[in-house]
Amino acid sequence: MKNKILILSADPNSINSELIYKSWKKINKTLKKKIFIISNYKLLKEQYKKLNYSIKIRKINNISEHINTTDLKVINVNLKFKNSFKVKKKDAADFIDETLTLGHKLALDKSIMGIINCPINKNLFKKKIGATEFFSSKCGLKKNTEVMLIRNDELSVSPITTHINIKNVSKNINTEMIVAKIKLINSWYKKYLNIKPKIGLLGLNPHNDELRKDSEEKKIIITAKLKLKKKGINLDGPLVSDTVFINEYKKYDVIVGMYHDQVLAPFKTLYKFDAINITLGLNYLRVSPDHGTAINLIGKNKASPKSLLNCIDFVNKFKT
């Protein structure tokens, strides 16, 4: 029976411990019993002491222990540090790698409902990737087959390319990738949300490069659209990026763009942090808050747990 949720504290130089504490204070006792934290026990203790937080923390060895306690249950991962709010880069990178690797291994257990990784500074990954690509690699997915879906109850957005430099976008998109990712989005919506989604597909260039013959819109995106329409997918496009988020987006369940900030920047302008990040295509449910590590807020007790609470609520209600 799936009855456990894993939260990975991830980046030690962040607001993550604060988010976990504030979320813990807002959830009910039944939900607390389901949640296990993967972190460093000593780090959490010291950070909570400095923040003047009062909370019972229980160090455990595995996810079968103390299932009925409402204490904050911490599966310990080793971490070297002297200053609990300023861990050295190498030590933080090693900790993140071990935390996410353990999270992946435990997520494969039949008792796990899903995993939530708290925000991570991408400079701390040992390769130039993000958590989306990390878990995709661990699950043995081919490169660029995973889908990043940023979602709330009103709208989802998804970038075809994820964490790559803007200069590399045009040479990293192709018809097959667009078709595969939109098919995955469509099937996920139908399987898990019982919705046949209406999808808006953006072009790449300003004004869709006026649909010139040698444009990515003509050579790649429209070709992908026609293939998807033949498969019965409810899809419009290519839509013009600079106007779609004024009002047109309201017609769609999902807006798919070619690169990260093309869809995430307007989405966050509209909804702030009222969203979660879901990775489609994995062997398990993985979500994360839709914001960064907020280093400017570390130790100030000003961080909002809204997105983490949304993650917890989504995983708890998700039907596999």
User: What ranges do the domains of the chain cover?
Assistant: 1-141+282-320, 145-276
Q: Which CATH superfamily is domain 1-141+282-320 in?
A: Isopropylmalate Dehydrogenase (3.40.718.10)
Please provide the average confidence, as pLDDT, over all residues in the chain.
92
Identify residue 232 by its one-letter amino acid code.
G
Q: For residue 6, give the 3-state DSSP assignment.
A: strand
Q: Averaged over 256-283, what is the pLDDT?
A: 94
What's the pLDDT tens digit per position in 99-111? Answer: 999 999 999 998 9
pTM equals: 0.91
Q: Averaged over 267-273, what is the pLDDT?
A: 91
CA distance 314 to 307: 10
Q: 3.40.718.10, 3.40.720.10, 1.10.3470.10, 3.40.50.10320: which CATH number matches 145-276?
A: 3.40.718.10
Using pLDDT thresholds of 50, 70 and 90, give the confidence band for residue 8.
Answer: very high
- Cα-atom radius of gyration of the chain, to the nearest Å? 20
> Tokens for 5?
């949720």
Which pLDDT belongs to residue 224? 96
Longest dimension (CA), the chain: 64
Name the packing angle between helices 16-26 and 306-317 (round to 10°): 60
Query: What residues form DSSP beta bridges with 43?
Result: none
Q: Which residues of 64-92 are buried (b: 16+ CB within 10 A; e: fewer)?
A: eeeeeebebbbbbbebebeebbebeeeeb
Which pLDDT belongs to residue 104? 96
Which pLDDT belongs to residue 320? 65
SS3 content of the chain, % helix, strand, coil (to 5): 45, 20, 40
DSSP-derived secondary structure letter, 213: T
CA distance 255 to 125: 28
pLDDT at 237 over 80: yes
Identify which of 274, 306, 293, 314 has the alpha carbon closest to the alpha carbon of residue 114.
314
What's the pLDDT tens digit per position in 112-154? Answer: 999 999 999 988 887 767 888 899 999 998 877 889 999 999 9
> Tokens for 168?
């590399």
Q: How far apart are the first and last CA of the chain?
A: 11
CA distance 235 to 237: 7
Q: For residue 306, give the 3-state DSSP assignment.
A: helix
CA atoms within 13 A on the CB side of 143: 5
What's the pLDDT tens digit per position in 11-59? Answer: 999 999 999 999 999 999 999 999 999 999 999 999 999 999 999 999 9
> Tokens for 25?
């204070």
pLDDT at 228 over 90: yes
CA geometry: angle at 288 spanning 168 and 318, to 5°? 120
CA dist list (Å): 215 to 158, 255, 312: 22, 21, 42
Which pLDDT belongs to residue 59? 94
pLDDT at 310 over 90: yes
pLDDT at 163 over 90: no
CA distance 44 to 258: 39
As a whole-number percent, the residues of the chain with pLDDT over 70 amount to: 98
Domain 1-141+282-320 identical in fold to domain 145-276 = yes
Task: Select the more confidently predicted residue: 104 or 85.
Answer: 104
